[in-house]
Amino acid sequence: MATVSAATSAPQAPARRGRRRALAKFARNRAALVGAAIVLIVIVVAALAPWISPFDPVQADFLHVRSAPDAMHWFGTDELGRDILSRMIWGARASLAAGVVSVAVAVAIGVPLGLIAGYFGGLIDTVVSRVADALLSIPFLILAIALAAFLGQSLTNAMIAIGVSAMPRFVRLSRGQAIAVKAEEYVEGARAIGLDDTRIVLRYILPNVLPPIIVQASLTVATAIIAEASLSFLGLGQLPPAPSWGSMLNSAKDFVSEAPWMSIFPGVAIFLTVLGFNLLGDGLRDALDPREH
C-alpha cells in the first residue's frame, strides 16, 4: 500500500510547485495580461449583450440607412439602418461561441484519439496518425468550407466544421505528449503496481498532456474566431439577420467607399479579440513550457 501511495503521489508535489511557478511567470508577463484582459472584456460584453446593447441588433431603420457615426449611433448604421455597435455587441457572442465550441469539439475528439494512439501504439496509432495526416493535408479553411457546404449553412455547422478541421492538431499534439510521458518512471511504476490502462491514461498521462493542450487550445480559439469570421464573410456561417462580425464585413464590402465605418469597426473587433487570444496563448506557452525559450 505504501508503494501504491508513493507511486501515485510522486508526480503531484512537483506538479503543484510547477503550477505555482507557471502562474507567477504568467502574472509577470505584461503582454499576456493585456491579452487576458482583452479576452475578459470580450467575454463580459458578450455575456451582457441584452443589457448593454443600445439598440435591437436586427431591427431595420430605413430612415437611418448607412448613417455615419454620431451621438445616437456611435459606430454608425449599416445598409438597413441597424445600429453597428449593437450588432457588434451581439456579434461577440457568435465569435466567442464559434471559437470556444469549435475548439471544444476539436479537443473532445482529438485528445482522446491522440492519447489512445500514443499510449497503445501499433496499428491503432498508424491508423489514427494517417487519418490525422490526411485531414491536415486539406487546408483548415478549405476543409471547413467543404464541410459547411455539405452540412449546410449555419453557425452550428460552421462550428462543427471548424472543430473537425482543427481536430488533427490536437491528435498530433496529445499523441506526441502521450508517447513522451508513457516512458516516464512513474508511469512504469503505476503499470508495475497493476493499474489498468484506462486509469493510467486518465491519472498519469492526461494531466501531463494538459499544459500543451491548454496552450494549443487558446491559440486555436484565435484561429477558430478568424475561421468563423471567414466562413460568415463568405456567407457560410451565421445566417442573416443574426449578427456576426464576419457577416457584418460581408455586407460592408459592398459599401467600402460610401460607408467605411461598416467595415472598420467589426474588423477592429475581430483583430483585437484574435490578438487577445494570441497574446494569452503566447503567455501561457511561456509560462507552461519553459523549453520554448
Member of 7, 103, 143, 287 binding another protein (CB under 8 A): 143
**128 near another protein (CB under 8 A):** no
Residue 25 to residues 38, 113, 197, 227: CA-CA distances in angstroms?
19, 31, 34, 31
Query: Which position among 108, 146, 192, 193 is part of the footprint of another protein (CB under 8 A)?
Result: 146
User: Which of 24, 48, 134, 192 touches another protein by CB under 8 A?
Assistant: 134
- CA gap 237, 35 in Å, rounded: 26
Q: What is the dihedral of CA 274, 114, 3, 6, to 10 degrees?
A: -10
149 binds another protein (CB under 8 A): yes
Q: Angle, nearest 10°, between helix axes 140-151 and 206-233?
A: 70
> Which residue stretch of 41-49, 89-97, 176-184, 263-271 sits at the interface with another protein (rule: CB under 8 A)?
263-271
Nearer to another protein, 129 or 208 (CB): 129
**Phi/psi at 29 (5° precision):** -85, 105
Residue choice 92, 270, 284, 287 for contact with another protein (CB under 8 A): 270
Q: How many CB atoms lie within 10 A of CB 201?
A: 22
Q: How far is the CB of 177 from another protein (least distance, A)?
A: 20
Q: What are phi and psi of 125, to 5 degrees?
A: -65, -45
Write the binding mask 167 to 206 for another protein: x where contact by CB under 8 A, - elsewhere.
Answer: ----------------------------------------
Point out which span in 18-26, 57-65, 80-88, 142-150 binds another protein (CB under 8 A).
142-150
**Residue where the block lists cell 470556444:** 100
Contact between 239 and another protein per CB under 8 A: no
Torsion of CA 33, 38, 39, 41, to 10 degrees: 120
DSSP 229-252: HHHHHTTSSSPTTS--HHHHHHHH
Q: Which of 8, 154, 156, 263 binds another protein (CB under 8 A)?
A: 263
Positions in the binding site for another protein (CB under 8 A): 130-131, 133-135, 137-143, 145-152, 222, 226, 229-230, 233-236, 246, 249, 252-253, 256-257, 260, 263-264, 267, 270-271, 274-275, 278-279, 282
